[in-house]
């Protein structure tokens, strides 16, 4: 497992904050497909990377951002030659190749089963050693926010902490009301 430095943690936290504060991030997702929401998140991640590389002094921050980013279904090195595990290939929704090798998973649902599915995918990304870190963003679509509220329970807190400490998976939960409070 790749060592977590303060710089990588800051990078992933900044990425998360950039995404959730973006006006482009849809607050209500119930009637939209996951692929549509992901296509709306994609330019937000690219903008984050452009800003990051511009601040780092790259002459062509836009080019560097686009060369450092991949999304599921895009042709290129991550679209082919994937290793199989348990008879299937792992494809994260997005990949940041540089400055850190990060798989990004986005899920939305009213069901806690979707949370677990995303956790399983995230674990496979780092345990198969294809990615060093995972940023997993889950959008709770319940009006009563039962999933997002559950992360205050001791068991869920331990799981989230263990995912970061043992598997390099940075997990965050959002909801429509939470996002409205930020904008």
Domain residue spans of the chain: 6-182
- For residue 171, list its beta bridge partners: 136
> How far apart, in whole angstroms, are the C-alpha atoms of residue 39 and residue 129?
26
* Digitized pLDDT (tens) for each residue of the chain, 183 residues in all: 899 999 999 999 999 999 999 999 999 899 999 999 999 999 999 999 999 999 999 999 999 999 999 987 665 665 556 667 787 777 899 999 999 999 999 999 999 999 999 999 999 999 988 899 999 999 999 999 999 999 999 999 999 999 999 999 999 999 999 998 887
The pTM for the full model equals: 0.93
Tell me the C-alpha distance between 183 and 179, whole Å.
7
φ, ψ for residue 15, nearest 5 deg:
-60, -50
Fold held by 6-182: Restriction Endonuclease (3.40.91)
Q: How far apart are CA 58 and CA 111, in angstroms?
A: 42
Query: CA–CA separation, 34 vs 38, rounded Å?
Result: 6
Residue appearing with tokens 């995918």: 121
């Amino acid at each position: 497992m790749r060592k977590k430095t303060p710089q990588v943690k800051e990078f992933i936290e900044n990425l998360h904050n950039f995404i959730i504060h973006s006006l482009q991030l849809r607050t209500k997702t119930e009637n939209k497909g996951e692929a549509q929401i992901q296509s709306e998140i994609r330019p937000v991640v690219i903008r984050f990377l452009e800003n990051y590389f511009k601040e780092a002094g790259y002459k062509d921050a836009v080019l560097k951002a686009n060369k450092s980013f991949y999304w599921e279904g895009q042709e290129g090195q991550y679209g082919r030659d994937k290793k199989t595990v348990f008879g299937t290939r792992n494809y994260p929704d997005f990949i940041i190749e540089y400055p850190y090798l990060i798989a990004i998973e986005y899920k939305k649902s009213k069901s806690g089963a979707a949370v677990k599915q995303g956790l399983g995918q995230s674990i496979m990304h780092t345990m198969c050693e294809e990615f060093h870190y995972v940023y997993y963003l889950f959008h709770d679509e319940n009006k009563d926010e039962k999933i997002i509220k559950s992360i205050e329970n001791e068991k869920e807190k331990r799981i989230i902490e263990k995912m970061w400490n043992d598997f390099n998976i940075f997990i965050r939960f959002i909801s429509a009301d939470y996002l409205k409070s930020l904008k």
